[in-house]
């Protein structure tokens, strides 16, 4: 499966934080479409390294937990030698 675009939270279109992502568009699955970041976190917890981020260097989506007090579930790309998160490089809606 592959992440091809992202939808940011309202008012956060130009944010540089993965925590501000609302949902991610996934292709290569039975039901292509936008999936909320919490859903993706739970899926990736059970099925790691199954969703890649479209575009070089083709990193994987991984789950992460935000800081207290909310401990919000979100997703980001796996670490690599780029300075920005590859997920944030995808087209935005």
- Structural domain containing residue 28: 2-89
Q: What does residue 6 show for φ and ψ, rounded to 5 degrees?
A: -130, 155
pLDDT of residue 34: 98
Residue 71 three-state SS: coil
CB-neighbour burial class of residue 7 (10 A; exposed 0-12, middle 13-18, buried 19+):
middle
pLDDT of residue 56: 81
Give the DSSP H or E segment for 17. none
pLDDT of residue 57: 80
pLDDT of residue 31: 96
The total of structural domains in the chain comes to: 1
How much is the pTM? Answer: 0.92
> Which residues of the chain register pLDDT less than 50?
none
First CA to last CA across the chain, in angstroms? 20
What confidence tens digit (pLDDT) does each residue in 43-66 have?
999 999 999 999 888 899 999 998
């Amino acid at each position: 499966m592959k992440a091809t675009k992202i939808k940011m939270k309202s008012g956060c279109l130009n944010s540089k934080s993965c925590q501000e992502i609302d949902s991610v568009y996934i292709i290569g699955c039975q039901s292509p479409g936008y999936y909320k970041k919490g859903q993706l976190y739970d899926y990736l917890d059970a099925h790691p390294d199954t969703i890649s981020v479209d575009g070089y260097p083709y990193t994987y989506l991984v789950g992460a937990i935000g800081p207290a007090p909310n401990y919000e579930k979100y997703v980001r790309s796996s670490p690599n030698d780029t300075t920005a998160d590859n997920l944030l490089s995808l087209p935005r809606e």
